[in-house]
Amino acid sequence: MESGSAIDPFYENDVTQFTERAPLMIRRSVTVAERAAVRPHFHGTLELVWFYSGTGGRVIIDGKPHPYTKEQAIFIKPYAMHAYELHSLSQRFLLVKFDTARFVELFSGSQLERDARIFTARLAHAVPVQRIPPSAIRSLAQCSTQDLFASLAALISLTQSIRTLPSSSVDAEASSAFSRAISFMEKHYNEKITLAAAAAEAGVSKFHFAHTFPKLYGMSFVDFLNRIRLARAENLLRYSDKSISDIARSVGFFDAAYFHKVFKKHRGERPKDFRSGFRS
């Protein structure tokens, strides 16, 4: 894959501004630019892609390739590293971005909070590439981002048709509990967060948390927390004039050398090069 090629703004630059009232973004019939690849990236939103046309391609999610063809749905869970290889140019698709954290906040403290967490967990554990009823996609495609209730109703209806990964066999209570830990990490990413603190939010022991977390999210607690922090750091590198050391501290990396090491591991380039490449 060509590391320098990317499709903007729908993948590479996740600059969509979500609010508690509008945690969902829908774009229809978008024509992909004339590039054959979308380089590896990740973001904090759940991504659903449905290709209307083209000969398909591959989506690589956390290093695992998944072939897709048109009229298949692609589910990318929050913070999963992913890239696309397109077998034909100008593929048309429906793109849905869902800020699951902000969605759950809508129901925080209410009797519906648990149901909201279970719903978002089911989406996050969807089989990455699968066929779903075209009618479900059409219903979602007809919705407007501004009509939150209609959009969510269509998404909830679609969710009833999806297949989930074996890891999602963890019961609903566990999914809800670990979702609380994720919410805690996303709210306090700029602080020193220990595994013990995250486990306490989930209401489980440190051992159980460390053992179960990778099964649910495909990576360790530390890697997941780092991706939350890196997502914030990338936006600051793009759009702020803060120094790199200030950015590192503001997102929870209190060791500058460690920040550079983690950034290079996930992005394949130094923070300085990432910033200059975006602004060039």
Predicted confidence (pLDDT) per residue in 151-183, tens digit: 999 999 999 889 988 765 556 677 788 989 999
Among candidate residues 34, 6, 53, the one with its CA nearest the CA of residue 267: 6
Question: Side chain identity at 169, as an amino acid letter?
Answer: S
Ramachandran area for residue 95 (φ above 0: left; ψ -120 to 50: alpha; else beta): beta
CB burial class (10 A; 0-12, 13-18, 19+) of residue 260? middle
Q: What residue spans define the domains of the chain? A: 24-166, 170-279
- First and final C-alpha spacing in the chain: 22
Q: What confidence category does residue 89 fall into, taking pLDDT thresholds of 50, 70 and 90?
A: confident
Which one, of 92, 93, 151, 100, lies nearest residue 125 by Cα? 100
CATH code reported for the domain at 170-279: 1.10.10.60
Take residue 199 and report the two structure tokens written for it. 């486990």
Q: In three state form, how does the secondary structure of 42-66 look?
A: CCCCEEEEEECCCCCEEEEECCEEE
From residue 96, alpha-carbon distances to 24, 76, 151, 196, 209 in Å are: 7, 10, 10, 34, 31
Q: What is the band of 9 on the pLDDT scale with cuts at 50, 70, 90?
A: very low
Length of the chain: 280
Q: Cα–Cα distance between 143 and 203 in angstroms, integer?
A: 38
Calculate the dihedral angle through the C-alpha atoms of 49, 51, 56, 58, rounding to the nearest 10 degrees.
Answer: 0
Percent of residues, the chain, with pLDDT higher than 70: 87
What is the CATH T-level fold of the domain 24-166, as seen in this structure?
Jelly Rolls (2.60.120)
Q: Does position 196 have pLDDT exceeding 90, yes or no?
A: yes
Q: What is the pLDDT of residues 10-59, one digit of tens each?
A: 444 444 455 555 788 888 766 555 567 788 889 999 999 998 888 889 99
pLDDT digits (tens, 9 = 90+) for 135-148: 889 899 888 878 88
Q: Identify the band that residue 255 occupies on the pLDDT scale cut at 50, 70 and 90.
A: very high
pLDDT at 32: 58
Cis amide leading into 9 (omega within 30): yes
Residue 233 · residue 193 · CB < 8 Å = no
